[in-house]
Amino acid sequence: MKVTVVGAGAVGASCAEYIAIKDFASEVVLLDIKEGYAEGKAMDLMQTASLNHFDTKITGSTSDYSKTANSDIAVITSGIPRKPGMTREELIGINAGIVKDVSSNIIKHSPNVIIIVVSNPMDTMTYLVHKTTDLPKNRIIGMGGALDSARFKYRLAEALEAPISDVDGMVIGGHSDKGMVPLTRLATRNSVLASEFLSEDRLNQVMEDTKVGGATLTGLLGTSAWYAPGAAVSALVQAIACDQQKMFPCSALLEGEYNLNDIAIGVPVILGRNGIEKIVEIDLSDAEKTKLTESAEAVKKTNGTLEF
């Protein structure tokens, strides 16, 4: 199993590290436009192998895509992250050009690849890869909901004063502060609805804290987060590589599901060796349907600014 990670910055390197530590891939190739940067990160990570007990071979390259040939999975994290006060949508001008260029280079050397898009604004970047490449739709996946759901579970566990492994919850919709839809109605603690333990106000607070999860960290760190994003990407890569048939909310191209068309947005999907094996349509309440529709309208507005 060969995995390419384009962009050896904060998220790309973190994702490569988690993939290596989980030791399911034979090879990870890091690629970055910054001279020597990916080579340096790869060497540093390889020098953790004997300490962290993994055999995954990590190599780095400065934009030599021939090194990525025959990758099974490629992760695109190249681009600029947001600074405090910025929205993800403000990154579109620079990141669209980078994502288009990077995805076409990846496919040239790995025609059967499965692409995971991370660069922001992620739903629009995922749509861009759908529109500008010939890859089948199951092989283009946007990562956002897995991270937002992890942040949701963190906030739920905090509110419930419960271990994180006891709680479950999912965030669908666009990967943006305003657009994401944490499904508080379906959140659980040990399979019992969280609403049995928490007041409506407290659950709403959990929802609001989740929505600004990324912005909160950007304010604290001065740039966007990397541990949880890297871990979320590595979980998707592992689900595909190990054919786990596991459900994650991911940005998927919709053709009628949830009454949405011609858009990539976060919905539950089953991930396995073919990428998106199935889009899962869960029963949403009328209020959740309205939120998802509004979120889709906002993503479509951003998509409308793309130049192909």
Subset of residues 174 to 203 that bind ligand NAI, contact rule: CB under 6 A: 175
Distance from C-alpha of 281 to C-alpha of 291, rounded to nearest angstrom: 16
Distance from C-alpha of 214 to C-alpha of 201, rounded to nearest angstrom: 22
114 binds ligand NAI per the rule CB under 6 A: no
Residue 53 bears catalytic tag:
no
Distance from C-alpha of 46 to C-alpha of 188, rounded to nearest angstrom: 40
Rg of the chain over CA atoms, in angstroms?
18
Which residue from 215, 273, 205, 209 is spatially nearest to 241, judged by alpha carbons?
273
58 binds ligand NAI per the rule CB under 6 A: no
Shortest Cβ 202–ligand NAI spacing (Å): 26
Of all residues in the shown chain, the one whose CB is closest to ligand NAI is 9
Per the residue annotation, which of 53, 109, 130, 175 is the catalytic one? 175
* Residues 13-42: x where in contact with ligand NAI by CB under 6 A, - otherwise, as a string: ------------------xxxx--x-----
For residue 229 the two structure tokens come to 């994003």
For the chain, how are helix, strand and coil distributed in percent, rounded to 5?
A: 50, 20, 30
226 binds ligand NAI per the rule CB under 6 A: yes
For residue 135 the two structure tokens come to 């890859």
Subset of residues 146 to 165 that bind ligand NAI, contact rule: CB under 6 A: 147
Binding site for ligand NAI (CB under 6 A): 6-12, 31-34, 37, 77-82, 91, 95, 98, 101-102, 118-120, 122, 143-144, 147, 175, 224, 226, 229
Residues annotated within the binding site for substrate are: 82, 88, 120, 151
